[in-house]
A and B are shown apart, each in its own frame.
Chain A
């Protein structure tokens, strides 16, 4: 396998219902990444697109619709998706294009235009269920997350306020992010606890907002990376794993599929003691409790310990183990696949010292990004190292 480096990244503003089409959003993110890498479309060998369900944009097989905005017209191109896992799975797919030796320079573009789905993109989630076992009850994703959150709180005796701290931290972290949709420098735990109850214990401010946006990332093989930088950021490990589709039969407390993916990535990266070997992480945080869940799945702490670390300030940007320094999905926004911007581009920017106001102090060397998708069962993990 060839070593793979990241040489550029880009990300658009995240907002609900932007004027731009999906391909225009893709173009804007791709152009930023090309400019950061200092290359042009003609330098790209191949392009990988990540975009989650067709039902958001409302274009069947939207991968082909997005080609021209992804600098892919006339090139080898593939779209990959596994729901919310796409934001880290697309860069994994991009990685194997280069690691396999098939290509030297590859761009990954991730796009989501949830605002097309009217009146609310939740409508699209009505059709993801098993038609015989689940759909007759007309389930809503929030129901499921509410039960998962309740189970987590019940098993480990976690207080709601300790979960709300995650939303507060991430929305405050997002203040320095130029793309952020829901940054709030003054948000408090009480604001979260007093927000509208959607399906107990899930309240409005526990949830990340739907959004439109795009992000892009450019890889280069070790053979050519000297042309672009003397201090490359390497992809050190990738992993992915999926749990049973019978979600009712899962534990709903510990995300074992995240651990499967993390172990695969850590083995590749030579990480034996995750809390010690990893300097910071961007676990997927569409809900505040999911950041905690995923920290445990990523083996960054013991089961049930993530809320304690959060309460003690360990996961703050200047803490011992910064978590979601980008502001995450809760603060920056959640255009599903495009969250590659927080989960992978951010890890690159932090390691390269390009994170601006969001920069983690202390010269971080190893960062982990993770996403979570399909019906709460898919985990995708990437490890970057300087």
Chain B
């Protein structure tokens, strides 16, 4: 009875979709983080009173201590960091070779205990980026929309 089908339309079927659209709120901390990003070329972080960790991106609470963040715990940090680790993607989500390889890095943000996933733009695709200092390159202020896409990419900080 069990037989492998290579043509998905060959068994009798009903064709359906799972359409659903979403409007994700930035949240209380996220709202402030992204409003700041629209105006400045720096980031916002929050410092836990209890353990002293600088949470990045800014959060409403410290997940370790469960300490709520108050007004005086907010701080501005530079949009720079150090690449902890990276990879070079050459195949896209559809399994096709990408026209240009993409460098994806985990960037430890300076003066914080947090990191951000970022794209690195470079001409030197062979380079070992581990430990390299990078800085964020933002969209022009008038084009920013208060989303992660306002950061165009990271590049080496010279």
Task: Check A18/B61 contact, CB under 8 A, given A40-B66, A123-B19, A136-B14.
Answer: no
A51-65 interface bits toward B, Cβ cutoff 8 Å, 1 = contact, 0 = none: 000010010000000
Task: Check A69/B61 contact, CB under 8 A, given A31-B66, A124-B20, A135-B14.
Answer: yes
Which residues of B are found within 8 Å of A19, using beta-carbon distances? 25, 27-28, 31
Minimum Cβ distance to chain B for residue A342 (Å): 24
Task: Check A31/B29 contact, CB under 8 A, given A55-B20, A127-B18.
Answer: no
Q: Is A132 an interface residue (CB 8 A)?
A: yes
Which residues of A are found within 8 Å of B16, using beta-carbon distances? 127, 131, 135
Q: Is B124 an interface residue (CB 8 A)?
A: no
The A9-61 residues at the B interface (CB cut-off 8 A) are 17-21, 23-24, 27, 30-31, 34, 40-41, 55, 58
Contact in complex: B29, A24 (CB < 8 Å): yes
Minimum Cβ distance to chain B for residue A214 (Å): 13
Which residues of B are found within 8 Å of A41, using beta-carbon distances? 64-66
Task: Check A30/B24 contact, CB under 8 A, given A24-B60, A132-B14.
Answer: no
Q: How many residues of A contact B (CB 8 A)?
A: 35
Q: How many residues of B contact A (CB 8 A)?
A: 23
B contact patch SS: loop
A contact patch SS: helix
Task: Check A118/B21 contact, CB under 8 A, given A21-B27, A31-B68.
Answer: yes
Which residues of B are found within 8 Å of A17, using beta-carbon distances? 23, 25
Cα A41 to Cα B20 with chains together (Å): 36
Which residues of A are found within 8 Å of B19, using beta-carbon distances? 123, 126
Chain A's closest residue to B29 (CB) is A24
The B1-49 residues at the A interface (CB cut-off 8 A) are 14, 16, 18-31
Contact in complex: B25, A119 (CB < 8 Å): no
Q: Is B63 an interface residue (CB 8 A)?
A: yes
Which residues of B are found within 8 Å of A24, using beta-carbon distances? 27-29, 60-61
Contact in complex: A73, B31 (CB < 8 Å): no
Q: Is A116 an interface residue (CB 8 A)?
A: yes
A109-135 interface bits toward B, Cβ cutoff 8 Å, 1 = contact, 0 = none: 000010111110001101100011001
Which residues of A are found within 8 Å of B60, using beta-carbon distances? 24, 27
Chain B's closest residue to A124 (CB) is B20
Task: Check A21/B20 contact, CB under 8 A, given A34-B66, A73-B64, A136-B14.
Answer: no
Cα A69 to Cα B21 with chains together (Å): 24
Contact in complex: B29, A118 (CB < 8 Å): no
Cα A31 to Cα B145 with chains together (Å): 32
Task: Check A115/B14 contact, CB under 8 A, given A20-B28, A41-B65, A41-B66.
Answer: no
Task: Check A21/B25 contact, CB under 8 A, given A40-B66, A73-B63, A131-B14.
Answer: yes
Task: Check A71/B66 contact, CB under 8 A, given A20-B27, A21-B27, A131-B16.
Answer: yes
Cα A127 to Cα B28 with chains together (Å): 31
Q: Is A68 an interface residue (CB 8 A)?
A: yes
Chain A's closest residue to B30 (CB) is A21
Q: In the complex, which of the residues B24, B31, B61 contacts A116, with contact meaning CB atoms closer than 8 Å?
A: B24
Which residues of B are found within 8 Å of A362, using beta-carbon distances? none
Which residues of A are found within 8 Å of B29, using beta-carbon distances? 24
Contact in complex: A123, B64 (CB < 8 Å): no
Cα A41 to Cα B66 with chains together (Å): 6
Cα A117 to Cα B20 with chains together (Å): 7
Cα A261 to Cα B119 with chains together (Å): 53
A82-125 interface bits toward B, Cβ cutoff 8 Å, 1 = contact, 0 = none: 00000000000000000000000000000001011111000110
Which one of B16, B19, B29, B31 has the highest number of Cβ atoms from chain A below 10 Å of its Cβ? Answer: B16
Q: In the complex, which of the residues A55, A74, A116, A132 contacts B25, with contact meaning CB atoms closer than 8 Å?
A: A116
Contact in complex: B20, A115 (CB < 8 Å): no
Minimum Cβ distance to chain A for residue B88 (Å): 27
Q: In the complex, which of the residues B21, B26, B30, B63 contacts A119, with contact meaning CB atoms closer than 8 Å?
A: B21
Cα A16 to Cα B14 with chains together (Å): 34
B136-150 interface bits toward A, Cβ cutoff 8 Å, 1 = contact, 0 = none: 000000000000000
Contact in complex: B64, A58 (CB < 8 Å): no
B56-72 interface bits toward A, Cβ cutoff 8 Å, 1 = contact, 0 = none: 00001101111010000
11 intermolecular pairs with C-beta atoms under 8 Å apart: A17-B25, A21-B24, A24-B29, A30-B66, A31-B66, A58-B24, A69-B61, A69-B63, A118-B21, A124-B20, A127-B20
Chain A interfacial positions (CB closer than 8 Å to B): 17-21, 23-24, 27, 30-31, 34, 40-41, 55, 58, 67-69, 71, 73-74, 113, 115-119, 123-124, 126-127, 131-132, 135-136
* Shortest Cβ-Cβ A-B pairs, 4 listed: A21-B27, A68-B63, A58-B22, A41-B66
Instruction: Using A17-B23, A118-B22 as known contacts, list a sample of 9 further A-B pairs with CB atoms less than 8 Å apart, ordered by residue number in A.
Output: A19-B25, A20-B25, A27-B60, A27-B68, A31-B61, A41-B65, A58-B24, A115-B23, A135-B16
